[in-house]
Structure 1
Amino acid sequence: MQPITRFLLLLVALLLPNLASGRGSPPDTMQRMAEIVLPGAAGRFDYMGLDAAKDRLFINQMGAGRTLVFDPRQQRLIGQIVGLAAPTGITLAPALHLAFISDPGAGLDRVWGDGRVVAVSLRTLAVVQRFAAGGFPDGSAWVPALGRLFVSNERGGVETVIGGDAPLRVEQTLELGGEAGNSAFDAASNRVLVNVQSRGQIVAIDPETMEIEDRVTLPATCQHNHGLLVDDADHLAFVACDGNARLLTLGLPSLRPVQLNRLGRDPDVLALDARRQRLWVASESGVVSVFSIAAGKLRTLWRGFVGPDAHSVAIDPTTGWAWFPLANVGGKPVLRAMCLTMG
């Protein structure tokens, strides 16, 4: 047998097991599952909140001064919340039948720091209460056992705490020493974590005493830590560093760095698909990154362009679809659903 013939036979023998086992299958692909044109003028969107039990997706349209309420199962708009100036963050508290919407206001309200947090009935979609929240209230975190909401004030550099017996009230305002990014509740350690993005730090707040109990400086490889999400099951915190397009993974409760991954330019909102153990990170550049989570480590599954300004994302846990509100597609606001198909 000639040497080249022996080489070809050996090559075939090595490739056949891979083909038979599917390891030669195509890579994971992103598919567009739905595209819904929303009513009204084009305008910037911000955070979303999903009430999976009621099939309601709340979509803050900051540029139009409203929050849209969408049924992802029926794929139709079912209502909207009005009386808002520029809604940014949103957190749902189903036990209280409330949604808390951050509204920094417009015009002179933003200049003078007259931002509000608005409590909205999940039953009627009516505004039931407003709370003073300073310069630019944004992301927030809910502590269910205490019935307290912790609101990041990006421009004011404070954390506003809302809670107490009905009627709810502002219980505390904590000075953070810098611009506040997002907040997240770590249930295992019973702490509220807050990005202090202008100082490259995370502060840990005791939700019972409403006092700062720890302050951790992040590595220089994470610049301007804005987005924040806690994965309770895996004891991890994910930080979107929008200054250098990196994802920093921290172990909990230590807040020690575990891993650093590349993202699309200007990353913003993170969303966890706990059922499929996937992390989605959206960005202002429209580039979305999807990671698998296994044994405390991340592996990049997909990265690519989803749509213009696709910086906000929410995951339907039943279907695994990722919903992205896009401010302007052909002059219209659009809600786009994407799904990662395994190769």
Structure 2
Amino acid sequence: MTGKATVRPDPWRWAAVALSALCGVAACASAGAQAPLALDRTIPLAGVKGRIDHLAVDVAGQRLFVAELGNGSVEAIDLRSGKSLGRITGLAEPQGLAYLADRDELAVANGGDGTVRFYKAADLAPAGMVRVGDDADNLRIDTRSGRLVVGYGDGALATIDPASRKVVSELKLPGHPEGFRLDGPKAFVNVPDAGAIVAGDIDQGRVTATWKADHRWNFPMALDGNGALVTVYRLPARLAVMADGAVRGDVSTCGDADDVFVDGRRQRFYVVCGSGDVEVRSSTPPYASLGRAKTRSGARTGLFVPEQDRLFVAARAAGSAEAAILVFKPID
């Protein structure tokens, strides 16, 4: 999730060294349980090298978009056939993606040059650009207005009007924003550089609350749909559930997580981890582990699409195994 402009340590290197000390006996034992996820199919990403960052989906058009950060590219995949529809190349560390359904456009946040670039989703032709600042990272869509919100730099969320290609407001933060989620005008943001979780109002451009992070390197975040915030830490590897700043649960999970999703129908969390696992946990107290599905080392990003009832996990190339999207079907 980090770009060229702001160099940060890879937490998993350090977490791997300390794993035996940080992983409790019960937690490590539960890691062997089979998760209620079945590998449905594997979609190859031909010729893709290096890290893969975030994904976006066009549900109606059944297209998946993949930020191939280490390859400097973004790929469009036809989910019906599993074939590539084309690739945008020459990008400077593409990280965050957002599909704008009302415009049939794809937005790409690039960490290397601090831009958000727009492309026509039909043919991936360039359609515009906004320069926001160093390390443009995660992208979210404000569903009230269709505007984009991007995290970037040493600490800000910028709101972009896709029609005018202009930044219309900013929310200043105490450090670089990693995972964040929107709920109306409210923004909830992981700020690991500041050891904090921050709540803010993107309409008013002000921070409304700051909570001290209980652990280090809080990267992925989700909202459970019932007023609770889900944060996953990398050191130690923990999943925490909180509401209004009060922690409801704090449990162990897999290491080097960069995405977490909520399956509301089944009341589950899916934690996507670079340790080579997806952990499934109950989203109700005491947040019991339901097992882990094996993926591939470094496969720490993904996307759960409720409309298709599938979890997509991005697996980087390793040895003789080419890069791929691993498609998992939840098992009831």
Is TM > 0.5 for Structure 1 vs Structure 2? Answer: yes
Aligned partner (choices 225, 246, 268) of residue 218 of structure 2 = 225
User: How much is the aligned-residue C-alpha RMSD, in angstroms?
Assistant: 2.3
Aligned partner (choices 277, 286, 304) of residue 276 of structure 2 = 286
Post-superposition offset of 1:27? 6.6
Deviation per residue, 1:188-224 (Å, 9 max, x gap):
xx30111111222222222222222222223x2x322
Residue correspondence of structure 1 range 204-243 to structure 2 within 5 A: 204-218=199-213, 220=214, 222-232=215-225, 234-243=226-235
Post-superposition offset of 1:150? 2.0
What SS class does the counterpart of residue 180 from structure 1 fall into?
Answer: coil
Q: AA paired with 1:320?
A: D
Aligned partner (choices 313, 320, 333) of residue 302 of structure 2 = 313
**8 Å contact from structure 2 (residues 62, 78) kept in 1:** yes
Deviation per residue, 1:40-79 (Å, 9 max, x gap):
2422100001222221111110011111111223322222
Q: Given the superposition, is the C-alpha separation of residues 255 and 119 from structure 1 closer, same or farther in structure 2, using an over 3 Å criterion?
A: farther
**8 Å contact from structure 2 (residues 77, 85) kept in 1:** yes
Instruction: Tell whether 2:199 aligns with 1:201.
Output: no
State the partner residue of 2:103.
Answer: 96
**8 Å contact from structure 1 (residues 69, 77) kept in 2:** yes
State the partner residue of 1:5.
Answer: none
State the partner residue of 1:261.
Answer: 251
Aligned partner (choices 164, 168, 178) of residue 167 of structure 1 = 164
State the partner residue of 1:57.
Answer: 64
Percent identity reads 24
Q: AA paired with 1:72?
A: L
Q: Which has the higher contact order (CA 8 A, sep 6+)?
A: 2
Aligned residue pairs, count: 299
Deviation per residue, 1:146-193 (Å, 9 max, x gap):
33322112x5222222127x3130123443122321221023xx3011
Instruction: Tell whether 2:328 aligns with 1:328.
Output: no
Residue correspondence of structure 1 range 172-191 to structure 2 within 5 A: 172-187=169-184, 190-191=185-186
Q: Given the superposition, is the C-alpha separation of residues 27 and 128 from structure 1 closer, same or farther in structure 2, using an over 3 Å criterion?
A: closer
Q: Distance in 1 between matches of 2:58 and 2:264?
A: 15
TM-score by length of 1: 0.79
Stretches of structure 2 that go unaligned for 5 or more consecutive residues are: 1-32
Post-superposition offset of 1:322? 1.9
Q: AA paired with 2:169?
A: Q
TM-score by length of 2: 0.82
What SS class does the counterpart of residue 178 from structure 2 fall into?
Answer: strand
What SS class does the counterpart of residue 236 from structure 2 fall into?
Answer: coil
What SS class does the counterpart of residue 324 from structure 1 fall into?
Answer: strand
Q: Distance in 2 between matches of 1:50 and 1:275?
A: 20
